[in-house]
Amino acid sequence: MDVTESYGFWILLFLSLWKSSLGQIVYSVSEEVNKGTVIGNIAKDLKISAQELESRVFQIMSGSNAKYFDVNVKTGSLFVKDRIDREELCGSNQKCALNVEALAQNPHRLYQLEIIILDVNDNAPVLPDDTYVVNVTEIANEGDRFPLPVAKDSDVGSNSLKDYKLSSNEYFSVDVHIGQKSISAELVLQKALDREKQAVIHLILTAIDGGKPPKSGTLSIVVNIMDVNDNKPIFSKPLYKVKVKENTMIGAKIITVSASDLDEGINSEIQYSFHGNTHESNLFSIDSNSGEIVVQGQIDYEEYPAIELRVQARDKGSPPKSTHCKVLIEVLDENDNVPEIVTTPLLESVKEDTKSGTAVALIKVSDKDGGKNGIVHCSLKDSFPFKLETSYNNHYSLVVDGPLDRESVSLYNITITAADEGSPSLSSSTVITVHISDVNDNAPHFPAPVINAFLRENGQAGGLVTKVSADDSDTGENAQLSYSLLDSSSSSVPVTTLININSLSGEIFSLQSFNHEETKRFQFQVMATDSGVPPLSSNSTVNVFILDENDNSPVILAPYSEPGSVNSENIPYSAEADTL
């Protein structure tokens, strides 16, 4: 058995023994302990002698966690084999446990070890930057708060981040907030600021963890005291209104907004801009210096019948102050949209016997324009046995409005036109195709009510007498015909003894040979029946004339005698010449 086969064999055997031989022992060890640190005596905990460990080839099974631990089979000690970093293995998880599997052979038994890695305070709190700048105006109020960067500590439990301290100063204190996942801090203004007295304040923020001894990290805070720009711009009115036609040319000026600032110098210089980048604002541009608003996109009433712009006036002070106003733009509609028609067929085809008033299709018309430009009227072009009925609010039904005859017209292409009330009016049209399906309303039709056929006497049985044919104006099964024979009321002999008919082709064949001297003519009726439900039929009379042939020799007959008889006449001796 090679190594691969042996390994596969042991795997299968371990799986089969897992349920009965699985055991678990829990150990704990601190992270960062020295290599060789003994965690416990596995022989003692498993109640196995050290000699038995060696004889049974006791070993830690290979795997992701086997690199950290090993067993001294001579002493039974479980010891650390490699550096253990809890933060690397388990991150910020509160519990960090490694599962290790051990194997003893002869007999085979698998043991599961759970080794809990205990955190040590080997990480100091870390702040994201070395220096953090806070800009505070000199008119800030006492009690104003300013958020500070959050420190991170990779340790957990009591070794994690616990508190913030602020260096001693007369202006600010620190307020610590303890949350579920982090501890944050805010600067709180305790005393009014005076930029002219002190323009910059330097502070040190210290983040402290709960370890023993504790570790800490620091952040240098630079507080810049900003000069007062205590007047904000004021618009001439808070709301501007203007009307603009849709499709107004790009570049057209629509309105100018204006604001003023009571400050002087750079603090009174104003710049205008749109506040909030929306699609509507992208249709316009504003001159940052003059406040003039012009069109820069396609204005569409159907998309935006009214547009509200928020304009910001901002001075150039430091920090700048700003104010806002609204510009309400009413878009005036133009008739630039043709009506739209949506059709929904209700029937794949319409039977020709459909009653008037039956709905064939639904029609919905709409127009994106407003006012009269959006009022739509729907009508049929040309004359059809159909009409439009109004359902509700631009909804129509196409209904049957007269008799239908598939044999006359089997398909209608109905043009529906929708026109609005705009000036000039815009219209659109669509075509609804209506297929007329057949019903069995036409009986078969023979070309003539009486058909004459001629058959020579003495012909062989089975000869073709004639072929009858009828047509049917219907279609499909309604036009599929079969033929049959009917006896004439005057016939003394059943016609079916004389002739036979092919029900599909209408060909009529003789069943016997005929003698003109015995039968000169016989008559019967042929019936054609369609396959409709219910079926329709019609008849035609067939006269068969037996044509004479010269098949009899002349016969001399005495008066009142039968053919073939022998007659004698007595002539008296006294008969004179010319006597009959």
34, 122 Cβ separation under 8 angstroms: no
Mean pLDDT of 119-146: 87
Give the pLDDT of residue 18. Answer: 33
Mean pLDDT of 436-461: 92
Residue 4 has pLDDT above 60, yes or no: no
193, 136 Cβ separation under 8 angstroms: yes
Domain at 234-327, CATH homologous superfamily:
Cadherins (2.60.40.60)
| Percent of the chain surpassing pLDDT 90 | 48
pLDDT digits 0-9 by tens, 555-565: 776 666 666 66
User: What is the average pLDDT score of the chain?
Assistant: 86
64-68, 265-269, 561-565: the lowest-pLDDT one: 561-565
Residue 9 has pLDDT above 60, yes or no: no
58, 111 Cβ separation under 8 angstroms: no
Residue 213 has pLDDT above 80, yes or no: yes
- Residue 145: CA atoms inside 13 Å, Cβ hemisphere, count? 9
209-218, 291-300, 342-351, 561-570: the lowest-pLDDT one: 561-570
Residue 254 has pLDDT above 90, yes or no: yes
Question: How far does CA 487 lie from the centroid of its chain?
Answer: 69
Question: What span, in angstroms and rounded, lies between the C-alpha atoms of 18 and 102?
Answer: 12
Give the pLDDT of residue 559. Answer: 67
528, 451 Cβ separation under 8 angstroms: no
Question: What span, in angstroms and rounded, lies between the C-alpha atoms of 424 and 369?
Answer: 13
Mean pLDDT of 529-545: 93
Strand order across the beta sheet in which 507-510 lies? 464-467, 507-510, 499-501
Give the pLDDT of residue 20. Answer: 29
Mean pLDDT of 62-76: 83
118-132, 526-540, 565-579: the lowest-pLDDT one: 565-579
Kindly provide the residue ranges of all beta strands, DSSP E only, lying in 119-199, ordered along the sequence: 131-137, 145-147, 161-166, 172-178, 183-189
Show the DSSP H helices in 64-125 as ranges: 86-90
pLDDT digits 0-9 by tens, 480-507: 999 999 876 566 788 888 999 999 999 9
Question: What span, in angstroms and rounded, lies between the C-alpha atoms of 292 and 257?
Answer: 6
Give the pLDDT of residue 117. Answer: 84
Question: What span, in angstroms and rounded, lies between the C-alpha atoms of 272 and 580?
Answer: 152
Question: What span, in angstroms and rounded, lies between the C-alpha atoms of 460 and 456?
Answer: 10
Give the three-state DSSP class for 340.
Answer: strand
Please state the three-class secondary structure of 210-248 as a single string: CCCCCCEEEEEEEEEEECCCCCCCEECCCEEEEEEECCC
Give the three-state DSSP class for 20.
Answer: helix
Beta strands 284-286 and 292-295, pairing class: antiparallel
238-242, 283-287, 392-396: the lowest-pLDDT one: 392-396
Start-end of CATH 2.60.40.60 domains in the chain? 3-118, 131-226, 234-327, 340-437, 450-547
Question: Hey, CA dihedral for 528, 530, 531, 534, is it positive or negative?
Answer: negative
Residue with the two structure tokens 């004479």: 548
499, 509 Cβ separation under 8 angstroms: yes
Give the pLDDT of residue 8. Answer: 33
The amino acid present at 469, given as its one-letter code, is: S
411, 435 Cβ separation under 8 angstroms: yes
Give the pLDDT of residue 16. Answer: 28
Kindly provide the residue ranges of all beta strands, DSSP E only, lying in 339-426, ordered along the sequence: 340-345, 350-351, 359-366, 376-381, 386-392, 395-400, 411-420
Residue 6 has pLDDT above 50, yes or no: no
Q: Which residue has the higher pLDDT, 311 or 73?
A: 311
Mean pLDDT of 146-170: 87
Give the pLDDT of residue 10. Answer: 32
Q: Which of 499, 515, 507, 497 is closest to 459 using CA atoms?
A: 515
Question: What span, in angstroms and rounded, lies between the C-alpha atoms of 285 and 333?
Answer: 22
Per CATH, is 450-547 categorized as 2.60.40.60? yes
Type and span of the H or E element at 434: strand 427-437
Q: Length of the chain, please?
A: 580
Give the pLDDT of residue 111. Answer: 86
Give the pLDDT of residue 558. Answer: 67
CATH no. of 340-437? 2.60.40.60
The structure's pTM equals: 0.48
Give the three-state DSSP class for 157.
Answer: helix
Mean pLDDT of 163-168: 92
Q: Which of 317, 119, 276 is closest to 210 using CA atoms?
A: 119
Residue 2 has pLDDT above 70, yes or no: no
Give the pLDDT of residue 298. Answer: 92
- Where does the pLDDT of residue 85 fall: very low under 50, low under 70, confident under 90, or very high at 90 and above? confident
Q: Which of 50-59, 327-336, 557-566 has maximum average pLDDT?
A: 327-336
Give the pLDDT of residue 159. Answer: 81
103, 8 Cβ separation under 8 angstroms: no
DSSP 399-411: EE-S---TTT-SE
Residue 181 has pLDDT above 90, yes or no: no
Residue 243 has pLDDT above 60, yes or no: yes
Residue 363 has pLDDT above 80, yes or no: yes
Mean pLDDT of 290-294: 96
Alpha-carbon distances, residue 165 vs 123, 124, 127, 207 (angstroms) = 18, 15, 13, 7
Residue 147 has pLDDT above 50, yes or no: yes
- Where does the pLDDT of residue 122 fall: very low under 50, low under 70, confident under 90, or very high at 90 and above? confident
Give the pLDDT of residue 560. Answer: 63
Which CATH number applies to 131-226: 3.30.2130.10, 2.60.40.60, 2.60.120.10, 2.60.40.10?
2.60.40.60
- Where does the pLDDT of residue 313 fall: very low under 50, low under 70, confident under 90, or very high at 90 and above? very high
Give the pLDDT of residue 417. Answer: 94
Give the tokens for residue 240: 């501007």
Q: Which residues pair with 24 in a beta bridge?
A: 112
Cα–Cα–Cα angle for 342, 344, 346, rounded to 5 degrees: 160
312, 234 Cβ separation under 8 angstroms: no
3-state helix, strand, coil in the chain (%, to 5): 10, 40, 50
Which CATH number applies to 3-118: 3.40.50.620, 1.20.950.20, 2.60.40.60, 1.10.3720.10?
2.60.40.60
Neighbouring residues of 157: CB distance < 8 A, sequence distance ≥ 6: 94, 119, 210
207, 151 Cβ separation under 8 angstroms: yes
Give the pLDDT of residue 19. Answer: 31
Give the pLDDT of residue 385. Answer: 93
